[in-house]
Structure 1
């Protein structure tokens, strides 16, 4: 028997209504009490892929220690290798894989095709790099990712004098005809759909002949912390980014310094684990939590207490302890939209209604996350209203059923979180988590069962 991928006929983000075999379903483990665990997580995808790009454009070799090994980072490594960058594995001291030695070529070379997979950072960060290469570079992506917004990058590169052929699509697939240089200068961009448009240009701007003066002209600019992450990474490599006004950035041309870098744990991937403490009334600690960071996931320390949780920093870890119940919230998540799926799951399990706003831009992530979250929670008996810029969640008794991933890693982890306290939740394509956390199912099961050395959970591989 086949199980339909979709439970609502008016929402079909894949566009094909392809059925799924029953053995593709992963039964989310149910906690039989309060979860108590200490979890270690691999490196940040956002930092890993920024550092890979900067190391590839640097004036010498860089060692990236404790990088994330996932589908997204593998796509980035393959893309940069295709342009002539040497990326060699080195034995690492961490639990999650080798380090990477990145050796830039004397001259980047195109005449290649790059498969972006589902990685937004690859499809947006690498085209400016390809413009600095000699020869044409064709970019394409998975069918489910071809529709992600790319117009900001396409128009900005053309405004900078780059020859880009997209057959009028304004998006993937397209070909960048690199000449080995980009003139640079002043350009306007509408980054309302994604802050990655800004980061993409800033990362390569120091290599442009005249640098870059970039001005955002859209009505809103989502996920500002990700732009700050990019500016911080550039500053650590000697590239100064001035911001004379909100939505304006100036990068002077110059050398991008080589440096060795340690990648922080991915704090956004920590979200479902920390939320598990709230969902079950337990306690979860995430180790190696940085004292200072530009990661959006750092906002969890301020967000989760709104649900009634206690948050503590001690011994290098962030610990969240759940209370007797889960309070509803009124939250503006415009600075941290990637945390929204976890926050919405907690809201669906809360004692009172919640409204989450400032997240209209997540309609353009791996899927339309607002529609997907609303659809899947309703499929389990919940009540969710879509707003222009968010969701209104009214808690209802939930029941088991199939939770669809839409090829979206955060949709998969959100279903697992609800499945902690709702028996019978089956995740379709839990392997979507391999995008940024291949060890998710092992870590999640260990957290629920309490396996590991005194509750310290470290996934191998």
Structure 2
């Protein structure tokens, strides 16, 4: 590693030596892994979660469940999760790091116990929105002390369970608020009925993922437009296998378009609720050759990337990598529908506009996205703001721009600790 001017470690993103011919195995889905861990903790018997993601976020989730009275053990590449036994009355603490799923999915579980549980993490997590979820949890009967901040640190005072019932929820900033209530709903005394207010949540695929996984664990969620219901349920799924993370596959998929050649992703499912599955249609829309077989996904670059107008409202987490790719397009592009990215690990829109422009591209923020005008790019430090998806975006830039120094590459460990090694292997 070299050092940036801010004394932060950097990684020199390698330039593609020519057209690619690579097979890349990506780790398990973070979104599916953490939902599986939560549902397993609420199940009536242990669950063997096969091929889960092993990353900082996943470990933080397991640590949170342990603090709440659960248990787990590694079995090779798998994890056996034991149900919560929330009998302790001793105060506990949950370490959030900068994991949005942990911050949003676990407070409701604390309300099932009988102890005060304090939630806090990195400085960045204190800036991520959570007030609407805390308000809805209070409606469901939770006792929460956040000193009026609507953000960590806060304490959930458990009283042995939550009544649940009907709640109103503004989930327009994050679909995770809705998922948090639905995942915990089977353990509420009356289940939960959530009526959405304040606009449509982003990332419909993540909502579909939550509903699908609830069904696989034995619940019967219902949806009627903007109203969702999950009744009290006995959950069970002794054996659950996690799909590869299709969003983590994004930089490898678009590498075929950026550098030319072919990239294969084994294990790509025929059907998936993951937002990353949209990459197949995106690559085809951008003129690349895409083939899905029982063995996985194969993408072959055509050597040309057209400008595009893309509404990424439902797949916002793909924005950093796609924005980097479109810097190499043959015309201007517009990404829209992603205003909610201002509340992710960092303000992703501001970060992308700043860092891509600093390396020569013409990128400006719009009200709900980015306007990208390709221009000759040059090397330099690409700051990542403690955001794993920005590390991946920097890697894509480096395929065609010599001297891209990606700052703080270790932050990619949030979802793919072995990312830089896998990237180098793809290019070897």
TM-score if structure 2 supplies the norm length? Answer: 0.97
Is 2:263 the partner of 1:278?
Answer: no
Tell me, yes or no, if the aligned pair for 1:63 and 1:99 is still in contact at 8 Å.
Answer: yes
Is 2:167 the partner of 1:191?
Answer: no
User: What are the ranges of 5 or more consecutive residues in structure 1 without an aligned counterpart?
Assistant: 5-18, 92-97, 450-461
Tell me, yes or no, if the aligned pair for 2:3 and 2:10 is still in contact at 8 Å.
Answer: no
State which of 55, 59, 64 in structure 2 corresponds to 1:74. 59
State which of 6, 25, 36 in structure 2 corresponds to 1:51. 36
State which of 200, 212, 226 in structure 2 corresponds to 1:232. 212
CA deviation string 1:282-335 (max 9, x = no partner):
110100011111111100001112222111112421011111211111111111
Bigger mean CA deviation after superposition, 25-34 or 252-261: 252-261
| CA displacement at 1:102 relative to structure 2 | 1.1
Tell me, yes or no, if the aligned pair for 1:378 and 1:384 is still in contact at 8 Å.
Answer: yes
Distance 1:384 1:422 in 2: 16
The aligned counterpart of 1:155 is: 135
The aligned counterpart of 1:86 is: 71
The aligned counterpart of 1:137 is: 117
State which of 167, 172, 175 in structure 1 corresponds to 2:147. 167
Evaluate the alpha carbon distance shift between residue 106 and residue 78 of structure 1 in structure 2; reply closer, same or farther with a 3 A threshold.
closer
Evaluate the alpha carbon distance shift between residue 108 and residue 441 of structure 1 in structure 2; reply closer, same or farther with a 3 A threshold.
farther
CA deviation string 1:138-173 (max 9, x = no partner):
000101221100111110111112110001101110
CA deviation string 1:402-439 (max 9, x = no partner):
00010000000100110011000000001111000001
Counterparts of residues 240-255 of structure 1 (less than 5 Å): 240-244=220-224, 246-255=225-234
Is 2:4 the partner of 1:20?
Answer: no
User: What are the ranges of 5 or more consecutive residues in structure 2 without an aligned counterpart?
Assistant: none
Distance 2:406 2:35 in 1: 31
Distance 2:3 2:73 in 1: 44
| CA displacement at 1:237 relative to structure 2 | 1.1
Tell me, yes or no, if the aligned pair for 1:191 and 1:221 is still in contact at 8 Å.
Answer: yes
Q: For this pair of structures, how many residues does the alignment match?
A: 426
RMSD over aligned Cα atoms: 1.3
Distance 2:248 2:228 in 1: 29
- The 3-state SS of whatever aligns with 1:445 is helix
TM-score if structure 1 supplies the norm length? Answer: 0.91
| CA displacement at 1:105 relative to structure 2 | 3.8
CA deviation string 1:267-286 (max 9, x = no partner):
00000001000001111010
Evaluate the alpha carbon distance shift between residue 442 and residue 263 of structure 1 in structure 2; reply closer, same or farther with a 3 A threshold.
same
The aligned counterpart of 2:200 is: 220
The aligned counterpart of 2:23 is: 38
- The 3-state SS of whatever aligns with 1:335 is helix
The aligned counterpart of 1:307 is: 286
- The 3-state SS of whatever aligns with 1:267 is coil
Distance 2:303 2:207 in 1: 38
The aligned counterpart of 1:402 is: 381
| CA displacement at 1:127 relative to structure 2 | 0.3
CA deviation string 1:321-350 (max 9, x = no partner):
111211111111111001111111111111
Counterparts of residues 416-427 of structure 1 (less than 5 Å): 416-427=395-406
Tell me, yes or no, if the aligned pair for 1:306 and 1:327 is still in contact at 8 Å.
Answer: no
| CA displacement at 1:20 relative to structure 2 | 2.6
Which consecutive segments of 4 or more residues in structure 1 shift more than 4 A? 1-4
Bigger mean CA deviation after superposition, 33-42 or 399-408: 33-42
CA deviation string 1:380-420 (max 9, x = no partner):
01101211111110000000000001000000010011001
Tell me, yes or no, if the aligned pair for 1:108 and 1:132 is still in contact at 8 Å.
Answer: no
Is 2:324 the partner of 1:345?
Answer: yes
